[in-house]
């Protein structure tokens, strides 16, 4: 890894600020590779999962990346232009500007849940900013990691883009390398270790973590509409999404009706689970057991488990497909209300007033995403202004991440920094402030020895 890093650093020194044409060429190569290998990418991800919905892969790992590349190519020339900044009156006619410079070599550590998309999306940002990049994908999706290495190796030399495969020991060593910027996507726990390793080299980091992303349903919002949009976000990738709705805060009087509509809607979306190609499997036996443990713990502590598909609970046609469940009568001490779920389990929490709902959210760690379903402008404004979260969608779920003109990132324990679109370009760039002195200037008035001239200047400034 050190040899590859040295090779990339030498290549960067030889070409420290690639032209627009060069960067566009890199993006074109990426887009061509993704389009030409879409079917292979989808099949490989499905192998790693045991089963992964082809439509979900085409949507989240293929179309999302091609859309992001298209957006970046359209705006990159403008992003690279020097940005004029105001100059204070006493310094005119001097000029100020900001130039966005490549940082150098970027390190990218990507997770297993969207194993191709979350390796390539940060790469798009890094390359558009003019950097070199090294990628360490997850060992939980080894086939996809090897395919990513092969495909990128066919379009880029190792001194531009390199993929490093291996287990946790490799990831740990990778995080200690002296990158010029490092982006990590994964759990909060592992993110803390990555930040510690990066701190030893003073490597700036962007951490895309997780947390428990809440949904708040307002008192008079249509429950059927909310149920459909919540489940479409929750059940994507079988809930294995960092911004999946983690639990629902609903009016106390609506809990029963909401649970019925959620169950009915879920069966409409997925008439069956084990033999349904649209429903994705849990990534590993370990994660399946973890999710089962959350259900067992909640049940033992008094929760009501609503089995939406009771007839499929004992099926072994695909052992890692977990039928979705609703969980009511939850309490804060239950593991399901303390850990990020990352699966097809959905707790429902009653509230009596908006104040109660907002307080419930504020008492906990800042979530990566917050979802509000309300047509009341006052409720919407209050929630936007009073609940701190990485990002937010109003009257929908997940859709904020598809907006290339919005930054995506967490706050507090749900993450540090943001990327996507222009914000991704800026994350992997150094904003270099530049002051341009004019031929006509009063600079000599600040030279020593100090006398009446400097007194006049100080009088003017104060």
Q: In this predicted structure, what is the pLDDT of residue 459?
A: 87
CA distances from 384 to 210, 399, 400 (A): 20, 16, 14
Q: Is the pLDDT at 313 greater than 90, yes or no?
A: no
Q: In this predicted structure, what is the pLDDT of residue 316?
A: 53
Q: Is the pLDDT at 198 greater than 60, yes or no?
A: yes
Q: Is the pLDDT at 418 greater than 80, yes or no?
A: yes
Contact 306, 295 (CB under 8 A): no
Match 């052992």 to its residue by tokens: 319
Taking only Cα atoms into account, the Rg of the chain, rounded to an integer number of angstroms, comes to 25
**Residues labelled catalytic:** 208, 242
Three-state SS at 197 = helix
Q: In this predicted structure, what is the pLDDT of residue 458?
A: 87
For the chain, the first-to-last Cα distance in angstroms comes to 55
Mean pLDDT score across all residues of the chain: 95
Match 């969608």 to its residue by tokens: 393
Distance CA 323, CA 350 (A): 24
| Residue 392: partners with Cβ closer than 8 Å, 6 or more residues away | 369, 370, 371, 372, 383, 384, 400
Mean pLDDT of 198-223: 96
Look at residues 357, 330, 389, 329 and name the one whose alpha carbon lies nearest to residue 219. Answer: 357
Domains for the chain: give ranges and CATH numbers.
2-209+411-434 (3.40.605.10), 214-402 (3.40.309.10)
Q: In this predicted structure, what is the pLDDT of residue 446?
A: 86
| Residue 218: partners with Cβ closer than 8 Å, 6 or more residues away | 251, 354, 372, 373, 374, 375, 376, 379
- Count the Cβ atoms, other than its own, within 10 Å of residue 415: 24
Mean pLDDT of 275-292: 95
User: What pTM was estimated for this model as a whole?
Assistant: 0.94
Cα 371 to chain centroid, rounded:
16
Residues 143-193 have pLDDT tens digits of: 999 999 999 999 999 999 999 999 999 999 999 999 999 999 999 999 999
Q: Is the pLDDT at 318 greater than 80, yes or no?
A: no
Q: In this predicted structure, what is the pLDDT of residue 196?
A: 96
| Residue 347: partners with Cβ closer than 8 Å, 6 or more residues away | 246, 247, 248, 298, 303, 326, 327, 328, 330, 336, 337, 341
283: left (phi over 0), alpha (psi -120 to 50) or beta: alpha
Contact 27, 35 (CB under 8 A): no
Lowest mean pLDDT: which of 222-226, 239-243, 309-313, 433-437?
309-313
Contact 137, 145 (CB under 8 A): yes
Distance CA 125, CA 127 (A): 6
Q: In this predicted structure, what is the pLDDT of residue 208?
A: 96
């Amino acid at each position: 890894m050190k040899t590859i890093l040295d090779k990339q650093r030498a290549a960067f020194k030889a070409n420290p600020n690639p032209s627009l044409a060069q960067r566009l060429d890199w993006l074109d190569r990426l887009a061509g590779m993704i389009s030409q290998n879409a079917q292979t990418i989808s099949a490989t991800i499905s192998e790693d999962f045991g089963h992964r919905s082809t439509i979900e892969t085409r949507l989240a790992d293929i179309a999302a990346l091609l859309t992001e590349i298209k957006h970046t190519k359209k705006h990159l020339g403008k992003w690279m232009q020097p940005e004029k900044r105001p100059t204070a009156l006493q310094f005119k006619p001097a000029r100020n500007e900001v130039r966005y410079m490549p940082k150098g070599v970027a390190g990218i550590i990507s997770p297993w849940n969207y194993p191709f998309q979350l390796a390539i999306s940060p790469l798009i940002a890094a390359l558009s900013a003019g950097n070199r990049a090294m990628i360490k994908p997850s060992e939980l999706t080894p086939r996809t990691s090897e395919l990513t290495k092969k495909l990128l190796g066919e379009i880029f030399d190792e001194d531009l883009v390199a993929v490093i495969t291996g287990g946790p020991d490799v990831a740990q060593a990778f995080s200690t390398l002296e990158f010029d910027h490092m982006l990590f996507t994964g759990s909060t726990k592992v993110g803390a270790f990555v930040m510690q390793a990066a701190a030893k080299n003073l490597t700036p980091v962007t951490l895309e973590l997780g947390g428990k992303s809440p949904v708040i349903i307002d008192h008079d919002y249509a429950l059927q509409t909310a149920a459909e949009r919540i489940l479409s976000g929750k059940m994507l990738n079988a809930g294995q999404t960092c911004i999946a709705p983690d639990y629902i805060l609903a009016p106390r009087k609506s809990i029963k009706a909401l649970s019925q509509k959620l169950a009915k809607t879920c069966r409409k979306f997925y008439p069956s689970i084990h033999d349904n190609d649209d429903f994705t499997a849990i990534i590993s036996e370990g994660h399946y057991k973890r999710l089962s443990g959350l259900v067992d713990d909640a049940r033992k502590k008094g929760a009501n488990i609503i089995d939406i598909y009771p007839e499929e609970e004992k099926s072994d046609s695909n052992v890692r497909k977990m039928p979705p469940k609703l969980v009511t009568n939850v309490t804060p001490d239950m593991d399901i209300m303390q850990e990020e779920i990352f699966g097809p389990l959905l707790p429902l929490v009653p509230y009596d007033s908006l104040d109660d709902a907002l307080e419930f959210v504020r008492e906990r760690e800042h979530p990566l995403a917050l979802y509000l379903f309300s047509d009341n402008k006052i409720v919407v404004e209050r929630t936007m202004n009073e609940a701190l979260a990485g990002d937010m969608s109003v009257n929908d779920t997940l859709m904020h991440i598809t907006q290339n003109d919005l930054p995506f990132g967490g706050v507090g324990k749900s993450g540090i920094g943001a990327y996507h679109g222009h914000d991704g370009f800026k994350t992997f760039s150094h904003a270099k402030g530049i002051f341009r002195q004019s031929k006509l200037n009063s600079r000599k008035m600040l030279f020593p020895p100090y006398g009446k001239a400097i007194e006049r200047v100080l009088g003017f400034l104060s």
